[in-house]
Amino acid sequence: MSAPHSNAHSNPYEPPSDLERLQRHGWTLGAVGVAACLVGWILDSNQFFHSYLVAWLFWLGIALGSLAILMLHHLTGGAWGLMVRRTLEAATRTLPALAILFLPILLGMQEIFPWARPEAATDELIQQKAAYLNPAAFTLRGFFYLAIWSLFAFILSWLSLRQDRTADPGLIRRMQAVAAPGLAIYCLLATFASVDWLMSLDPHWYSSLFGVYFFVGQGLSALAFLIVIAVYLSQRQPMDSLFTPLHFHDYGKLMLAFVMIWAYIAFSQLLIIWSGNLPEEVGWYLERSHGIWKYVSILLALFHFLLPFLLLLSRDLKRNAKLLSKVAVLVLFMRWVDLYWLAAPSFGHEGLSFHWLDLATVVGIGGIWFALFVGQLRSRPLLPINDPYLEEALADD
Amino acid sequence: MKASEGIETSGRKPSRPPVVAPGHSPGSVTDQITAVVLDRAPRWWWVAFGISFALVMLLLRALTKLLFEGTGIWGLNIPVGWGFAIINFVWWIGIGHAGTLISAILLLARQEWRTSINRFAEAMTLFAVACAGIFPLIHVGRPWLAYWLLPYPNTMDLWPQFRSPLVWDVFAVSTYATVSLLFWYVGLIPDMATLRDRAEGKFAKVAYGFLSMGWRGSATHWHNYETAYLLLAGLATPLVVSVHTVVSFDFAVGQLPGWHATIFPPYFVAGAIFAGFAMVITLAIPLRAAFGLKDFITTRHLQNMGKILLATGLIVAYGYLVEIFMAWYSGNWYEQFMILNRIQGPYQKQWMALLLCNVLAPQLLWFRRVRSSPVLLFMVAMFVNVGMWLERFVIVVTSLHRDFLPSSWGMYSGTFWDWATFIGTIGLFLALLFLFIRFLPMISIFEMKTIVPKQVPNTAEEAPE
């Protein structure tokens, strides 16, 4: 057992063959979605860009959250992370594609962001922020964030591949040395990205906790997604004999922790702004507490926090892969609702205004993204075959 | 290739210092830890305890004067009506966070290196919370009426204002103190029994026997014990977050620029853990040297604590940065002035010192050499101890002293009695700590024994590296 596995010949952790079918479905859905989006763009370009931003942020959240969880795993270790490291790595390698999918947002900047419109010139407060909120700086920053995140994703994936080939034990230290500053830089850039892509939809509003809300949400998206993928893989060769209830117990605990952190951040921000009751801050919440948005807010409290929280307290549920994946799907859906709730009230439509394009953009971007993700997942063994801690992780039950 | 024959694949793992130094057996663990309590006190202990006790006398002197003359002996005035009392309260309560974090969260996360440090970190938590509790009590002006803060039916029609986080503090801190005390005591029971069995003196036998609550170490006892301990850990975990969150609400729910910031809750919690770990390091490094406990509090512990210090320090730095950026981005004149006043105003020195202590000094912990050097790690921790006090000073004073109306601006500084009270509580803290290490085992004996047997094969495995 001590000799490193040779990658070329028998790979004991080869991805299951029906992933290929899944990838084809992804492409098909993506094509249908993109076609629908194109029609929508022609019919109602305003609505298209609004829907597109939410959908893009949703899928970006899974990829970026995966990067954060991957770095967290490198720093803290543990069997839970080794079992899904390849899933996380595959998700992070989609970041360059998401950078290309950022382009339509630049095209629709005026439709999406009030500060990018000509009227903004007469708004004194927006003018004060013009050094930050202007099209050129917005574009440059956007690509800068995406480039840095992609860079970290590729360095970690590359080191992981080298570990498969050379079994060099020193690589663990190097991955840690990349992950530590990587995690700090991810959080910092995500904070500014949250200002650019969501907070500035209402350019008068500000909240210093918003960045944390944004990246905690991404971590939760990624955890829910990795649970769904892990459960899918655990029903197929070769992972069916390797995943144990203990692994799912750990994922469940982590998801529970993130659900609680999300609620903690959301509640803190609400309480502080509500009790300060300052006109420049509270307007954002007033928009979300009237008319139909009031019910969406309640929906978030009940299904983004309360229900998953209560369900995930159960030890039996966390150890039951199928049930856990159902909670994960609920959480993933609520992640989209949360992003929709953050963005849509600021677009100034009347009422709830759910549009078929909201679905079409999620399916269009999602189909393409998912197909790319599955392609990445298929390209490597499902476990880091030469990680020195792998045997310990597999023996864990 | 390092994976030589005879050693399993795990031999390829990067080497790490062990949690317990090699060569220990369950018996030697008990001997070494109980010896600290049961042998005669070394001379330095009497000197150190004497100095701390003198400072307790100073505290009593300051409190007596306060009760006779009132809070006028402090530097408080309008506009700065919250001075040392709040700064010291928040500082102490922050320090009181590491103990429960180490005990509860690291226990739930199955981090077994916590075992050597959890006992005295918990004790430190209790003493820090005790010091913290003094300040709001004396700050109310008439401490003998402090029970009015509690909601109880009375003929005066008094009822606390439940919208005020200051009332939430009463509940948060008292709950935290109760659960921390219980957690600490429950963890001590099996060790009390060990001391009972080993004590020579009659009084010691009876006292430890009484405290061990009839522990005989039967399987039923252990079973119930483990369940209770895990439940308490689960209970304590949210409390770690809740206390400092409520403390941050004390500031953030107001409208004052510099206090009203949504980032406050997580940033205060991280700051509390930061301060708490700094204090654990400050105490652990001299103690392990003085009592020869380097086999139990090893380089591994120092490294891990250094990493936690670095991580929480980065979160605190993130808080400072976001505060500055949002003040600019808000476009709000008063927010922008508040930040500029911190950077360039009359308290500029304190602000710069704060950055040096809390942001720059912890960056040294990126280097493994600093994390594994007791001297350097101790120095960084001392910087953080000072920095976290300065942080609260900057938040409390610079926000209050120049608020919306320039006509009501003023300056603030602590008086002799402010400092006497503060230094007096440091004396109280140290005196309690010295008593603790003399009378109770500062490292959990029975938990150390559980990691000793595992240690034996590991030592062989770490050797080839």
Report the C-alpha gap between B118 and B23 in whole angstroms: 22
Pick from B11, B14, B330: CB nearest A206: B330
Q: Which chain A residues are Cβ-neighbours of B365 within 8 angstroms? A: none
Query: Can you give the three-state secondary structure of B18-87, one letter per residue?
Result: CCCCCCCCHHHHHHHHHHHHHCCCCHHHHHHHHHHHHHHHHHHHHHHHHHHHCHHHCCCCCCCCCCHHHH
Cβ–Cβ of A207/B326 closer than 8 Å?
A: yes
- How many residues make up chain A in this entry? 397
pLDDT at B281: 92
* Percentage above 70 pLDDT, chain A: 96
pLDDT, tens digit, 9 for 90 and up, residues A161-170: 999 888 888 8
Q: Which chain A residues are Cβ-neighbours of B241 within 8 angstroms? A: 264
Q: Count the alpha carbons within 13 Å of B440 in the hemisphere toward its beta carbon.
A: 23
Q: Which chain A residues are Cβ-neighbours of B261 within 8 angstroms? A: 208, 272
Report the C-alpha gap between B291 and B181 in whole angstroms: 25
Chains A, B: CB pairs < 8 Å: 101
Contact indicator for A232, A330 with CB cutoff of 8 Å: no
Cβ–Cβ of B266/A170 closer than 8 Å?
A: no
Closest-CA residue in chain A for B238? A260
Q: Does the structure show a pLDDT above 60 at A280?
A: yes
Closest-CA residue in chain A for B249? A272
A202 to chain B, closest Cα gap in Å: 12
CA A213, A215, A221, A225: dihedral to nearest 10 degrees?
-160
pLDDT at A396: 55
The reply to whether B11 falls in a domain is: no
Instruction: Name which of A222, A220, A244 is nearest A231 in CA terms.
Output: A244
Instruction: Name which of B236, B151, B150 is nearest B187 in CA terms.
Output: B236
Cβ–Cβ of A129/B331 closer than 8 Å?
A: yes
Q: How many domains does chain B have?
A: 1
Cβ–Cβ of A268/B245 closer than 8 Å?
A: yes
pLDDT, tens digit, 9 for 90 and up, residues A40-66: 999 999 999 999 999 999 999 999 999
Closest-CA residue in chain A for B365? A180
**Which residues are CB-contacts of B398 (< 8 A; sequence separation ≥ 6)?**
B258, B338, B341, B342, B345, B347, B350, B351
B111, B320, B322: best to mutate for the A interface, most A CBs within 10 A: B322
Please give the DSSP secondary-structure letter assigned to residue A199: G
Cβ–Cβ of B9/A125 closer than 8 Å?
A: no
Cβ–Cβ of A276/B329 closer than 8 Å?
A: no
Two structure tokens written together for A77: 């270790």
Please give the DSSP secondary-structure letter assigned to residue B143: G
- A247 compared with A5, residue with greater pLDDT: A247
Cβ–Cβ of A280/B330 closer than 8 Å?
A: yes
pLDDT at B89: 95
| Domain definitions of chain A by residue range | 34-113+135-393
pLDDT at B1: 34
Contact indicator for B300, B116 with CB cutoff of 8 Å: no
pLDDT at A306: 96
Q: Does the structure show a pLDDT above 80 at A4?
A: no
A5, A208, A256: best to mutate for the B interface, most B CBs within 10 A: A208
Q: Which chain A residues are Cβ-neighbours of B332 within 8 angstroms? A: 280
Pick from A172, A206, A392: CB nearest B10: A392
Q: Which chain B residues are Cβ-neighbours of A275 within 8 angstroms? A: 163, 253
The reply to whether B31 falls in a domain is: yes
Instruction: Report angle CA A270, B248, B357 to the nearest 5 degrees.
Output: 130
Instruction: Name which of B239, B397, B364, B368 is nearest B299 in CA terms.
Output: B368
A273 to chain B, closest Cα gap in Å: 7
Cβ–Cβ of A2/B7 closer than 8 Å?
A: yes
Cβ–Cβ of B14/A173 closer than 8 Å?
A: yes
B9 to chain A, closest Cα gap in Å: 5
Instruction: Name which of A160, A50, A24, A143 is nearest A95 in CA terms.
Output: A143
Q: Which chain A residues are Cβ-neighbours of B254 within 8 angstroms? A: 276
Closest-CA residue in chain A for B257? A276
Q: Which chain A residues are Cβ-neighbours of B322 within 8 angstroms? A: 191, 208, 211
Q: Which chain B residues are Cβ-neighbours of A276 within 8 angstroms? A: 252-255, 260
Two structure tokens written together for A365: 């971007």
Output the domain CATH number for residue B172: 1.20.1630.10
Pick from A187, A204, A276: CB nearest B260: A276
Q: Does the structure show a pLDDT above 70 at A8?
A: no
B378 to chain A, closest Cα gap in Å: 22
B12, B251, B268, B461: best to mutate for the A interface, most A CBs within 10 A: B12
Report the C-alpha gap between A391 and A397 in whole angstroms: 12
Q: Does the structure show a pLDDT above 50 at A284?
A: yes
Most confident of A5-19, A310-324, B26-40: A310-324
Average pLDDT value over all residues in chain A: 91
Q: Does the structure show a pLDDT above 80 at A94?
A: yes
Classify A181 as helix, strand or coil. helix
The full DSSP string for B324-367 is HHHHHHH--HHHHHHHHHHHHSTTHHHHHHHHIIIIIGGGGGGS
pLDDT at A174: 92
Q: Which residues of A touch B (CB under 8 A)?
A: 1-4, 125, 128-129, 132, 167, 169-170, 172-173, 180, 184, 187-188, 191, 195, 204, 206-212, 264-265, 268-269, 271-273, 275-276, 278, 280, 388-389, 391-392
Report the C-alpha gap between B370 and B384 in whole angstroms: 15
Q: Which chain A residues are Cβ-neighbours of B249 within 8 angstroms? A: 271-272
Pick from A188, A269, A391: CB nearest B9: A391
Pick from B9, B262, B314: CB nearest A269: B262
B319 to chain A, closest Cα gap in Å: 9
Pick from A195, A276, A388: CB nearest B10: A388
The reply to whether B9 falls in a domain is: no
**Which residues are CB-contacts of A138 (< 8 A; sequence separation ≥ 6)?**
A109, A113, A116, A196
pLDDT, tens digit, 9 for 90 and up, residues A95-139: 999 999 999 999 999 999 999 999 988 999 999 999 999 999 999
Query: Could you list the pLDDT tens digit for every one of the 465 residues in chain B?
Result: 333 333 334 445 666 777 777 777 788 888 878 877 777 888 889 999 999 999 999 999 999 999 999 989 999 988 998 899 999 999 999 998 877 887 787 777 777 777 778 888 888 999 999 999 999 999 988 889 988 888 999 899 889 988 889 899 999 999 999 988 988 898 888 888 988 888 888 888 899 999 988 888 889 988 988 888 888 888 888 888 899 999 999 999 999 999 999 999 999 999 999 999 999 999 989 988 888 788 888 888 888 889 999 999 999 999 999 999 999 999 999 999 999 999 999 999 999 999 999 999 999 999 999 999 999 999 999 999 999 999 999 999 999 999 899 999 999 999 999 999 999 999 999 999 999 988 888 888 888 877 775 544 444 444 333
Pick from B3, B241, B322: CB nearest A211: B322
Cβ–Cβ of A128/B260 closer than 8 Å?
A: no
Q: Which residues of B touch A (CB under 8 A)?
A: 1-5, 7-14, 163, 241, 245, 249, 252-255, 260-266, 314, 318, 321-323, 326, 329-332, 366
Closest-CA residue in chain B for A77? B111
The reply to whether B244 falls in a domain is: yes
Pick from B163, B254, B332: CB nearest A280: B332
pLDDT at B218: 86
A172, A206, A396: best to mutate for the B interface, most B CBs within 10 A: A206
Domain range for B137: 26-455
A157-160: Cβ within 8 A, 24+ apart: A157/A89, A157/A92, A157/A93, A160/A85, A160/A89, A160/A384
CA B151, B152, B156, B157: dihedral to nearest 10 degrees?
60
Closest-CA residue in chain A for B10? A388
CA B51, B53, B59, B64: dihedral to nearest 10 degrees?
-130
The reply to whether B462 falls in a domain is: no
The full DSSP string for A368-383 is HHHHHHHHHHHTS-SS
Compute CA distances A214 → A70, A140, A220, A301, B110, whole Å: 18, 20, 10, 16, 29
Mean pLDDT of A383-397: 77
Q: Which chain A residues are Cβ-neighbours of B331 within 8 angstroms? A: 125, 128-129, 204
A298 to chain B, closest Cα gap in Å: 21
